[in-house]
Amino acid sequence: MTDLPSPAPAGHGGTPPRAARRLLLVHAHPDDESINNGATMAKYAAEGAQVTLVTCTLGERGEVIPPELRHLSGAGLGEHRLGELAAAMRELGVADVRLLGGTGRYADSGMMGLADNDDPASLWQADVDDAARALTDVILEVRPQVLVTYDPHGGYGHPDHIQAHRIAMRAVDLAARAGWRIRKVYWNRVPRTVAEEAFARLRVDLPALPFTESAAVEDVPGVVDDERITTVIDGTAHAAAKAAAMRAHATQIEVADRYFALSNDLAQPLFTTEYYELVDATPAARPESDLFAGLDTGETA
């Protein structure tokens, strides 16, 4: 099995060094993290925060883009995507990556409405409390102040994204009962006006791109009216790292300049400023420019 980046090495007395700021992201498949949060992850990792990624499945049912890799499917594709995830995390500087419940514990459920959803091994069929307990163990170990995941619709309705949301939110509750309260929970978002402006630029640039046509604003996960946005993370300085991480997921993503496409070959904007909705607290300022805004991270116990 492909080796993932490991948690930070133990310090004196066997206790891992603990960064003052600790961010946990919960995602459904390899590649979701780079598309949604790549610039954010690179920014905080570069600033010395502990960034921990929990990925719920290996994405065994993803559609493969490069012809030379289309022989991959099932477990073979999952193994390959695990290697892509490790490569992407090296590009982002993220050293702590976990598979929920251990590698291969939960299988990709496929797109909503397919027979794959009924696989007893799939994340969609998982008991939410059982899966949340596995995530709670990570939370109690890492003790993040901030958690990022999807909205209740999973951003765009994929069963694994919906389930990742349910598991993450349940784990927040379980961890609080066990003694660690995550101070801020965010959902991934894109403001509608930003998406509309980016697609207007895309339509102008499309003839020079290697994609057949443009996707639509409605194809972008998490698009909401602008007033829902509480937090804007400027990842411009980490644009190259985000693009490199997305390229590392070569079975799933083709990147060209400021744009990318998935297996449908429909071009989308590659956002290097990333947007969030704070869902369990009132932001100190609006919009925030820091996921840790308003937190006293000097206390690390």
Was 80 annotated as part of a binding site? no
Tell whether residue 29 is among the known ligand binding residues: yes
32 is in an annotated binding site: yes
d(CA 283, CA 271): 23
Binding-site residue set for Zn(2+)? 29, 32, 161
Binding-site residue set? 29, 32, 161
